[in-house]
Amino acid sequence: MAESAHNECKDPAGHYKHVCQLKKDGKQQEIAALVDDPGHICLNCTAVANNALNLCSPSPFSRA
């Protein structure tokens, strides 16, 4: 039960622009532009992205 809450998208309306959805849609070029300097990780699927807006459950991480 707790796992389903963990996998909940924090922005369902913007899910179309999340890395996981873009991957499912086969949009590799779009993904490449979103992950070239990552600073956030998705707590659901561990995808990384430059911007938190491109992840379902983002958490910032240190680039150092």
Task: Supply the pLDDT for residue 64.
Answer: 65
Task: Supply the pLDDT for residue 33.
Answer: 96
Cα gap 56→48, rounded to integer Å? 11
Ranges of residues in the chain whose predicted pLDDT is under 70: 1-6, 64
Whether the Cβ atoms of residue 50 and residue 39 lie closer than 8 Å to each other: yes
Task: Supply the pLDDT for residue 9.
Answer: 96
Enclosing H/E stretch for 5 = helix 2-6
Entry pTM = 0.84
Pair of tokens at residue 34: 């979103």
Residues 6+ apart with CB under 8 A from 31: 19, 22, 23
Task: Supply the pLDDT for residue 62.
Answer: 83
Task: Supply the pLDDT for residue 4.
Answer: 43
Task: Supply the pLDDT for residue 6.
Answer: 56
